[in-house]
Amino acid sequence: MDNVDRQVFSAVQRWSSEGYRFALVTVARTWGSAPRPPGAWLALREDGLVQGSVSGGCIEDDLIDRMRSGKLIGEHGPDKPFQLSYGVTREEAERFRLPCGGTLELVVEPAPDLALLADVERRTASGRLAQRSVDLGTGVVSVADGAGSDVVAWDGRILTTQHGPLWRLLIIGAGQISRYLAQMAQALDYVVTVCDPRVEYSTEWNVTGAPWVAGMPDDVVLEMSLDPRSAVVALTHDPKLDDMALLEALQSPAFYVGALGSKANNAKRRERLCKYFGLTENDAERLHGPIGLPIGSRTPPEIAVSILAEMTAVRRGGGLKKAKPVHQEAAASGNGCQVI
């Protein structure tokens, strides 16, 4: 489950323990410019309380009205899941403020099985993919191991969604940028680990939920067994710490590997890794350095934003090109920072 899914699950657990009925709404399919992607969840309590979202707000308002008027739960038979569509006509798209003629198909479960939702949560918490299927024809909901795909499958009758495992981010260096990056990354569903063998930095690391790990960075990279849902960001600006970790990370399936430093410094780093450590040119080209999108950032929090923006674009298949303007290095407390 991602961060929003976990918030939804936590809410329905609480509501169930308090004796409330609730519905689970999932975005099954979108056309045009839709605010939320397929697979997005919304939990709706019988009194209209909500957690999660399926749009920018207007569709939620309509769902709340349906729930409060008694039309949502039991509307299509007792506890049977059903489909709702919004934005089919121009008038409806304008009413619900769906941009560019956007259309949403939703699957509504008036009485979701909490035990099955808990099964999804357990599987993802243990690092496994979970696949959840809802059959509108029979009303049967099932959970199984995932198939290794993020694709939401919907044929008008059966909705299948994939959940988890969590995305991981390893930050090399416990400086100022790392603090902001760790906090922001947690909000974007990353489990964050920080590695820095320098006692001067590590003893002051206190970001909740982002543990500091001892040891040399390259050893930590190997111990983490990076997968395609992993990212590594090297921020010490010290080749003795960054280079070996990057060498291992660039030969792993990690979806993103980045390093702090100017364009010239990163060019020298790629040359070192290829010439002296046998890294292939193809693997060296995977390095995002200068790190982050060129948004003119100078301060540690701005640089953290630029890094996460680039990570998000890569994660979502944004088709980023490597060509960037030369980044000038600027003095900043902690690590040597760059203008990006």
- Measured distance CA(117)–CA(83) in Å, rounded: 20
Calculate mean pLDDT across residues 290-311. 96
User: β-pairing, 212-213 with 190-195?
Assistant: parallel
CA angle 257, 261, 267 (to 5 degrees): 80
Range among 65-74, 124-133, 257-266 with highest mean pLDDT value? 257-266
Q: What is the DSSP string of 230-281?
A: EEEEE-S--HHHHHHHHHHHHTS--SEEEE-S-HHHHHHHHHHHHHHH---H
Comparing C-alpha atoms, which of 185, 188, 174 is closest to residue 241? 174
Answer yes or no: is pLDDT of 210 > 50: yes
Answer yes or no: is pLDDT of 283 > 50: yes
pLDDT value of residue 339: 39
Using 50, 70 and 90 to split pLDDT, how confident is the model at 136?
very high
Calculate mean pLDDT across residues 177-200. 93
pLDDT value of residue 6: 83
Quick: pLDDT tens for 212-230. 998 999 999 999 999 988 9
Q: What is the DSSP letter of 101?
A: G
- Measured distance CA(268)–CA(271) in Å, rounded: 5
For the chain, percent of residues with pLDDT exceeding 90: 64
Comparing C-alpha atoms, which of 245, 248, 225, 223 is closest to residue 236? 245
Q: How far is CA 154 from CA 136, 314, 323, in A?
A: 11, 25, 38
pLDDT value of residue 59: 87
pLDDT value of residue 75: 61
Using 50, 70 and 90 to split pLDDT, how confident is the model at 319?
low
Every domain range in the chain assigned CATH 3.40.50.720: 167-338
pLDDT value of residue 281: 95
Calculate mean pLDDT across residues 31-60. 85
Calculate mean pLDDT across residues 308-334. 60
> What's domain 167-338's architecture?
3-Layer(aba) Sandwich (3.40)
Using 50, 70 and 90 to split pLDDT, how confident is the model at 98?
low
Answer yes or no: is pLDDT of 123 > 60: yes
DSSP β-bridge partners for residue 288: 258
Calculate mean pLDDT across residues 62-84. 83
Calculate mean pLDDT across residues 78-93. 76
Least confident of 156-170, 259-273, 300-314: 156-170
pLDDT value of residue 35: 66
Residue 44 in tokens = 């709706």
Residue 94 in tokens = 């304008």
Using 50, 70 and 90 to split pLDDT, how confident is the model at 325?
very low
Q: How far is CA 292 from CA 202, 231, 310, 321, 337, in A?
A: 24, 13, 5, 12, 12
More confident residue, 32 or 46: 46
More confident residue, 334 or 47: 47
Residue type, 154: W
Residue 2 CA to its chain's centroid (Å): 6
